Structure 1
């Protein structure tokens, strides 16, 4: 009887281990996104969309369209009642080396955006500027784009940032009508730091 019970116990242990081995691995936690309240303050409150899979239809990144792959990517859009808007796009690269390469690609696109837009749109005045590195995780970098279209009288200002935590890269854009003097650069730096810190 003792031998029979021992055999049953051993069989139960083996079956239990087999069940653990075949159970699906718990899905890794997805990178977290900014909340509406974490965007730079505005005269009217921000609202945030749900989190979507892939990239926005236009490629998601003014100055860097179609640079961010749709695979393993999600995004959230932000708006106010005025003409202020934004987006956060986050992607998990296959390797950390791939993430580093993507950050470099996005930074080059943002730095050269103004001259490229002027070349593509005769008459448009566009100035890009780099605003340094934010000390967070593997780093984040902030850029601006100031555009003016004399033919229609529109002026727009955008702020961008690209940051990385391991294999995860996040891109944040803020924009509104106006000039660079209207841009909340310091607040956007804080938003950028929060965005990268929230990834994992």
Structure 2
């Protein structure tokens, strides 16, 4: 009798234990699955947010370039990346670290230009890049002479422009024997973490450079960054 009662009493206990264990395992599995799904969702969401897409800064258009009789400017597309050829005097600076865009400008005569904008990692990095660009352009004439025996070169600093964090315009002229002289204007400006560089060039010397008009072009370029 006692044995029978024990058997009848022990069977429900084993069943209860089995049911309880299965239920607990199911709950734990559900919790673990939910936690894993949440972690994966957070990981995916975090990875997307960690790589924000840089917004393309504003660029000059054809009418913003220095106008001259007989010169009709055309503008290429705003293109991601640096130009195929580094702008004159900036070969040691570009391409630069950061996100870069550029736009080419040309005329049906001998005048051309390019605008390059670089979004740096921070305002401090942009300030450093702008300073490096200015230093490279200021040293360009002397560097070109050392690399070009028999050539002549001159430059002029046309000063700073009070726009955003500031801009600077410099002119560089070069000439080699049996070849026409070339003159370039370069404007370097910054707004926050973005640096923009505008160039203008044609056959001629510094006396042919449209400095006042190019300063307006540089000012417009910096103002369009935001």
Same fold (TM over 0.5): yes
In structure 1, the residue matched to 2:134 is 107
Whether the 8 Å CA contact 1:54–1:70 is kept in 2: the answer is no
What is the aligned counterpart of 1:142 among 165, 169, 183?
169
CA RMSD of aligned residues (A): 2.0
Whether the 8 Å CA contact 1:54–1:71 is kept in 2: the answer is no
The answer to whether 1:193 aligns with 2:193 is no
Partners of 1:29 and 1:141 lie apart in 2 by 25
What is the aligned counterpart of 2:197 among 171, 178, 181?
171
- Identify, as 1 or 2, the structure richer in helix: 2
Partners of 2:124 and 2:162 lie apart in 1 by 20
In structure 2, the residue matched to 1:38 is 64
Instruction: Map Cα deviations across residues 23-80 of structure 1 (whole Å, 9 max, x no partner).
Output: 967855320100000000032210000111111122x221111413164000000000
Partner of 2:190: helix, strand, or coil?
strand
Partners of 1:35 and 1:84 lie apart in 2 by 15
Matched ranges for 1:23-34 at <5 A: 27=53, 29-34=55-60
The answer to whether 1:117 aligns with 2:144 is yes
- Identify, as 1 or 2, the structure richer in strand: 1
Whether the 8 Å CA contact 2:141–2:172 is kept in 1: the answer is yes
Which one has the largest radius of gyration? 2
Which is worse superposed, 123-132 or 136-145? 123-132
Runs (4+) of structure 1 exceeding 6 A deviation are: 23-26
In structure 1, the residue matched to 2:120 is 93
Could you list the runs of 5+ residues in structure 2 that have no partner in the other structure?
Answer: 1-40
In structure 2, the residue matched to 1:53 is 80
Whether the 8 Å CA contact 1:73–1:92 is kept in 2: the answer is yes
TM-fit CA distance, 1:197: 0.1
TM-fit CA distance, 1:129: 1.6
Partners of 2:128 and 2:102 lie apart in 1 by 20
Matched ranges for 1:71-86 at <5 A: 71-86=98-113
Partners of 1:183 and 1:192 lie apart in 2 by 14
Q: What is the TM-score normalised by the length of structure 1?
A: 0.84
Instruction: Map Cα deviations across residues 95-133 of structure 1 (whole Å, 9 max, x no partner).
Output: 111111101111111111101000001011011221100
Could you list the runs of 5+ residues in structure 1 that have no partner in the other structure?
Answer: 1-17
Partners of 2:105 and 2:204 lie apart in 1 by 18
Q: What is the TM-score normalised by the length of structure 2?
A: 0.75
Which is worse superposed, 48-57 or 167-176? 48-57
In structure 2, the residue matched to 1:15 is none
